[in-house]
Chains A and B, each alone.
Chain A
């Protein structure tokens, strides 16, 4: 199979747009919101999820013929849990500040429904290369939404845009003092949890308008 024929492109692009895991399949919202206070946290979390999603999809797809259907959930959970432990230890070793900030939410990637959902719905039925592309596509779809949400929350809530670096994050741009002097104020609510719910609700609305999809009642 050629790597970038139209079918593989569809596997990657569908979850980013018309079949987005967060806004349309409604999977993996659990951890999506907690890490959106700052842009750099969202980016690191996206990378971690893409890594776990791609590797779990590939591993499970390779052993799919040897997994008895009745115990598949346990096998999927143990593969995913091992991969997440690897990510957790890596973050602790190389990005300690970031792993402190993300705290329990790295571990919660295990129960992120996107990963179980894609393993069950795609990896167990398709070959490893397709499963890898599916993992990549869904990871990007997930990342797109949480990066949009965290961008708005950080910019309007705290007045900064932070990119990840080795330590506490590199501040790319922050709202100049003169704006505050002229009467501009940050919307403190966005940093708190209600802000996350409301922004995600609006992003889901916008995404569905763009993709032109309605939920059947």
Chain B
């Protein structure tokens, strides 16, 4: 498979076929809580795209040059058996928390309007499983750096699509007659099930 096609295939896979919410169940907490409101959903969707695209490559660099088995040979040959892989979780989550903070500060300084619309969602994202999940999948699937960037961006777009779609459906059925104890989360889960079934139609597409 040639270069561009390969990246396009990773991208479509991350957005549609292996959608991070609908196929891997990541980031569901904020997905369910925020999809009550369309504007907020667009906001958190965009914030997830930004943060995933930034953190996945940073974590890739750390994994490749610091944590993986034999990753420290660039310092000295003596470290070729050193395996710091067990520090993976702590390092990744700290990078994510720090990056979220940095992105927030950058936004506040350089784009007040963007900060006003996305600002309140950024702290929530630090504990969104889709971000940590993106980094962990990247390690597990042994992506290269360009693949990681494409994958991070694609997963973010997938989250964006899914949350905006669910928010729109929930908005649409506001006045429907749902059994009282199914309202809210229960109904949202059933809708997500249908949405996920719809996304399954994309599986089998191979670029």
Contacts and interface: CB of A to CB of B under 8 A. Distances in A.
Interface string B110-137: 0000000000000000111101110011
Contact of B90 (A78, A108, A112, A215): A78
A113 B189 contact: no
B25 A196 contact: yes
Interface in A156-214: 189, 192-198, 200-202, 204-205, 208-209, 213-214
A26 B193 CA distance: 17
A85 B193 CA distance: 32
Interface string B175-190: 0000111111111111
Contacts of B73: none
B69 interface: no
Given A81-B93, A85-B90, A111-B127, A195 B193 contact: yes
B23 interface: yes
Contacts of B127: 77, 111, 113, 116
Contacts of B207: none
Interface of B is mostly: helix
B88 A193 contact: no
Contacts of B33: 26
B192 A197 contact: yes
A205 B25 contact: no
Interface stretch (A2-10, A30-38, A57-65, A126-134): A30-38
A27 interface: yes
A29 interface: yes
Given A34-B25, A104-B140, A107-B136, A214 B93 contact: no
Interface string B21-41: 011111111001100000000
Going nearest first, the 4 A-B pairs with the smallest beta carbon separation are: A201-B189, A197-B193, A215-B184, A198-B193
Contacts of A30: 25-29, 129
A101 interface: no
Kindly name the residue among A23, A32, A34, A84 whose own CB sees the greatest number of chain B CB atoms within 10 A: A34
Contact of A214 (B29, B90, B183): B183
A108 B22 CA distance: 16
B29 A27 contact: yes
A34 B136 CA distance: 15
Contacts of A202: 186, 190
B28 A29 contact: yes
Contacts of B197: 189, 194
Kindly name the residue among B87, B179, B197 whose own CB sees the greatest number of chain A CB atoms within 10 A: B197
B190 A29 contact: no
A111 B129 contact: yes
Contacts of A143: none
Given A205-B182, A209-B181, A215-B185, A193 B196 contact: yes
Contacts of B187: 201
A193 B181 CA distance: 24
Given A85-B90, A108-B129, A194 B181 contact: no
Nearest to B184: A215
Contacts of B87: 85
A69 interface: no
